[in-house]
Amino acid sequence: MSTTEALVKELVEKNGRTRNSLMPVLQGIVQQEHFLSEEALICVAKELDLSAADVYGTASFYTFLDTVPRGKNIIRVCKTITCHMKGKDEVIKAISNALKIKVGETTHDNKFTLLSANCLGWCHKGPVMLINDEVFPELTPQKALEIVEEYAKK
């Protein structure tokens, strides 16, 4: 059994073998593997007795359920209006230059993916970014770089 298969079985065991468990199962896979591979999607379909197209169709609806390979750390910089006004462009530019990737891309070593996101619920402390599940408000380009460096060391 591959690690993905084992993970899916474990998640299905924990959340239950019903359609209502689909989201927590998919979220659990993304937590471990950072995205949903074809193997993972097919495996979920089999375990929950759904068609693979149905599982893919559901997954592809959600921004956080990526179906293309992502780096170990996913950076999401808020691009909505207040963060826009407070300088998200400079933050994105700084990270983009440091990691040598554009928004939407992943570094060669697979450590980082840089994405933009819609309002993250910290507008009074923008600009703000999420790295995986962790939140970093009140950013400056300098601060953002230091945080990314910390993650690079991990």
Residue numbers at the binding site for another protein (CB under 8 A): 18-24, 26-27, 57-58, 61-65, 80-82, 84-85, 117-126, 130, 133-135
Q: Which does 97 bind (CB under 5 to 8 A by kind): ligand FES, another protein, none?
A: none
Residue 109 vs 138, nearer CB to another protein: 138
Residue 58 vs 82, nearer CB to ligand FES: 82
Q: Which does 49 bind (CB under 5 to 8 A by kind): another protein, ligand FES, none?
A: none
Distance (Å, rounded) from C-alpha 34 to C-alpha 30?
Answer: 4
Residue 24 vs 87, nearer CB to ligand FES: 87
Residue 59 vs 94, nearer CB to ligand FES: 94
Binding site for ligand FES (CB under 6 A): 78, 80-83, 119-123, 126, 128
Give one DSSP letter per residue of the chain, joined into a string: --HHHHHHHHHHHHH-SSGGGHHHHHHHHHHHHSS--HHHHHHHHHHHT--HHHHHHHHTT-TTS--S---SEEEEEE-SHHHHHTTHHHHHHHHHHHHT--TT-B-TTS-EEEEEES--S-GGG-S-EEETTEEE-S--HHHHHHHHHHHHH-
Tell me, what amino acid is at 83? Answer: C
Residue 114 Cβ vs ligand FES, minimum distance, rounded to whole Å: 16
Residue 135 Cβ vs ligand FES, minimum distance, rounded to whole Å: 10
